[in-house]
Amino acid sequence: MRHTLSILVENKPAVLMRVTSLFARRGFNIESLAVGPTAQHDVSCITIRVDCESSPLEQIEKQMHKLVNVLRVAELVPGESIERELVLMKVAAPPNKRAELMALGEVFNARVVDLGPDSIVFELTGPPEDCDSFEELVRPHGLQELVRTGRIGLGRAQRPNHNRPRQRVLA
Amino acid sequence: MRGNGADAILRSLEAEGVDIAFGLPGGAILPLYDAFARGTTVRHVLARHEQGAGHMAEGYARASGRAGVAIATSGPGATNLVTPIADAWMDSTPLVCITGQVRRHLIGSDAFQECDITGITIPIVKHSWLVQDVEELPHVIKAAFHVARTGRCGPVLVDVPRDIQEAELDFSYPETVSLPGWKPPRRGHERQILAAANAIAAAERPILYVGGGVLNADATEELRALAETARLPVVTTLMAKSGFPETHELHVGWPGMHGPKWSNWALNKADLLVAVGSRFDDRVTGKVSAFAPGATVVHLDIDAAEISKIRHADVPVVGPLKPILARLTQLVRESMQPGRTEPWLRQIAEWKDQFPLRYNPEGDMLKPQLVLETLQELTAGRDDVVWTTGVGQHQMWAMQYLLCDRPRSFITSGGLGTMGYGIPAAIGAKAARPDATVVCVDGDGCFQMTQQELATSVLEDLPIVVVIVNNGYLGMVRQWQDMFFEERFSQINLTHTVPDYAALARAYGAAGFTVESADDLEGALAEAIACGRTAVVDARVDPREHCFPMIPAGAAALDLVEFQDTVAEVTT
Ligand SMILES: Cc1ncc(C[n+]2csc(CCOP(=O)(O)OP(=O)(O)O)c2C)c(N)n1
Ligand SMILES: [Mg+2]
């Protein structure tokens, strides 16, 4: 099963390595990983997407709690959190295909950020699932390059502290 | 106080109350060694190999309960510390390693003796620091000791570039540390402790399954009070050995692969398992699904990550063991029905009589078990003996035959199973307990991994007794090849005679004894123990002896292979 973890860490050297080594030692592959600043000075947020069973994941979460630079670990629970991702994709677009592709982009609210003689660069920000769908639709047209930021997420706004995703209770 | 970074390290160690450090110098740590030369109250013990220094610091920590300190230079010095760090990680030994690093402007350039030791050790330290600013140094050292000793104990590493050691600062030692992410649990949850007490009161066949955590938590008195109050039988793992008096009527031996049959039976027939600072290691459980299958599990541990890691805990209690055990004893005293466990204790006592440890004492060669039995007889009742061991058959015999009553009197490499641990750990233990007689029960294979530290023992006046259970083989490997690989012996023959261990001991300035027959055994051991100087007893024993009983790896605990049983189709 896929899980998204949101980990608040002190912005210190090697902290990313310490966190990811807990997955690496078990041979778990990380599907996506995003790191960036938070509202708090000196605190970063690591968002990790992994495909693993719940019980080893719980174990990993507990081990993460023991890392000196880790301040908080929470799982982003679908339905109770907002997840977003940004994609840039360069698609083959000979003049006769352009209009079709741009119409497709409009459906997904993808922006055209660059236009060349035979290709278009789209930017799409949205739920990761939308990014997947758009990617699939565009692929047959000739997907030349694609990069994704990896997902980031927050707990929903009705929660008392809206920067605080729902936390599964850990023993 | 004005000084350089190296001075700051020593002043910080002094402020932490460190009286001894173990190490070996080199280029990138020279400023620190210069500071040693300029004066400090910290005694430095010069090891012959950094691995030795690391294990000495571990032995010191395990014998004293304080953090051990090991120092090495960059590159190969630091990598030689990796094994002790991994060992301390597995056995939760508080260890502070200080390594030199190349100057900051050279880091990342593959400079001479540069190596990313903080990177290499990430999976095996609680935390590490690469110091980037000399002003940070006192805070880092303070934090290093704090992290090593609080929560679940373990190793930390401080890597100090040479130019940081040379940079000037105004030294003052901080009174507090600021580590916002470091929050070890402070107390057990009262409701959970109550649930644990209720489980104990309701059980008919309860057992305390105690791990090394009880020694780290300094909770041996509290453990004893609980066991005596509720009349609970106690098994202690290899790591907990000496955490509960082994001559006590409630002590039920040691669980696991080479534990006596009665110990494993008691565990497996229990209806309540109270795990106290133990972690359901595979060498203890064997096949997990067949381990104490009928038992409810109460798990007391400082480390939440151990709860339900291997075996589901019905009643988890996370927090420091000392107050948890004390509170639990209080509650149990109120609720426990007197005499409730007596039938169960009688049953266990019957098993004990029925299944004693056995070996064949006959034969043309000295038996290894007799060496251990004799050591036990010679030291019985003494509370000033500290044992260390190597890893292998001799270690398991030491577990089975040596009875340790005083906490921290049995020091061995449990989780990592590090051959070569015994001699340096004994030296460290001697430094911590100068009054004690420290005896290392070693294998001939293990001895040859760290024998050079005999020089350290002799020259630093840290005398130890090394008893080599010399079977001429990598005996434990021989046993596995014999039992599980159809006697295809492969690369295990060390010979009894090369080297001549007694002559080697004398070459190091130690006393050397060679024992080849049972008649000479007691005299030589007694003399070695009494001589007051570093001594090596080479006890040449029968290589054909296996350590029994044995639960083959991954097998159910009740399927143990006993002495004289034929070994048929055991799977590994
Ligand atoms: C550093 C290291 N290398 C290899 C092993 C695997 N191993 C476990 S026991 C053993 C044999 C130990 O031989 P010896 O010290 O003579 O002890 P014995 O079993 O003969 O008592 C070996 C090789 C180990 N535990 N540690
Ligand atoms: Mg041997």
B41 pLDDT above the threshold of 60: yes
Give domain status of residue A157, yes or no. Answer: no
Task: Search chain A and give the residue with CA nearest B184.
Answer: A66
Whether residue B543 has its Cβ less than 6 Å from ligand 1 = no
At B43-65, the pLDDT tens digits run: 999 999 999 999 999 999 999 99
In the DSSP assignment, the letter for residue B68 is: E
Give domain status of residue A165, yes or no. Answer: no
ipTM over 0.90: yes
In this structure, are strands B95-101 and B68-72 parallel, antiparallel, or unpaired?
parallel
Which atom of ligand 1 approaches the CA of B417 most closely? 25
Question: Beta partners for B157?
Answer: B97, B128
Give domain status of residue A158, yes or no. Answer: no
At B178-231, the pLDDT tens digits run: 999 999 999 999 999 999 999 999 999 999 999 999 999 999 999 999 999 999
Give domain status of residue A33, yes or no. Answer: yes
Residues A88 and A141 in one domain: yes
Helix H or strand E encompassing A122 = strand A119-126
Distance from CA of A9 to the nearest CA of B (A): 8
Domain residue ranges in chain B: 2-170, 190-354, 368-547
At B344-399, the pLDDT tens digits run: 999 999 999 999 999 999 999 999 999 999 999 999 999 999 999 999 999 999 99
The strand ranges marked E within B167-252 are: 168-170, 206-210, 234-236
Kindly tell me the burial class for residue B257, based on how many C-beta atoms sit within 10 Å of its own C-beta (0-12, 13-18, 19 or more). buried
Sheet holding B206-210, edge to edge: B234-236, B206-210, B272-276, B296-301, B315-318
> B482 C-alpha to center of ligand 1: Å?
15
Instruction: Give the residue ranges of chain A where pLDDT is below 50.
Output: 162-163, 165-171
Report the CATH number that the domain containing residue A111 is assigned in CATH. Answer: 3.30.70.1150
CA-CA distance, B257 to B449, in Å (whole number)? 25
Which residues of chain B are within 8 Å of residue A38 when distances are taken between CB atoms? none
Q: How confident is the model at residue B566 (pLDDT cuts 50, 70, 90)?
A: very low
Report the CATH number that the domain containing residue A20 is assigned in CATH. Answer: 3.30.70.260
Left (φ > 0), alpha (ψ -120 to 50) or beta: where does B512 sit? Answer: beta
Dihedral sign, Cα of residue B56, residue B62, residue B68, residue B71:
positive
Give domain status of residue A61, yes or no. Answer: yes
Which residue has the least CA distance to atom 11 on ligand 1?
B474
Give domain B368-547's CATH architecture: 3-Layer(aba) Sandwich (3.40)
Residue with tokens 């000295």: B366
Q: What is the CATH number of domain B2-170?
A: 3.40.50.970
CA-CA distance, A146 to A66, in Å (whole number)? 37
Domain covering B190-354, topology: Rossmann fold (3.40.50)
**Domain interval for residue A122:** 82-152
Distance from CA of A138 to the nearest CA of B (A): 42
Estimate to the nearest angstrom the gap between the alpha carbon of A39 and the chain centroid: 18
Instruction: Provide the number of structural domains found in chain A.
Output: 2
Residue A37 CA: distances (Å) to CA of A12, A152, B36: 12, 12, 43
- Of A50, A75, A100, which residue constitutes the final position of a domain? A75
Residues A141 and A104 in one domain: yes
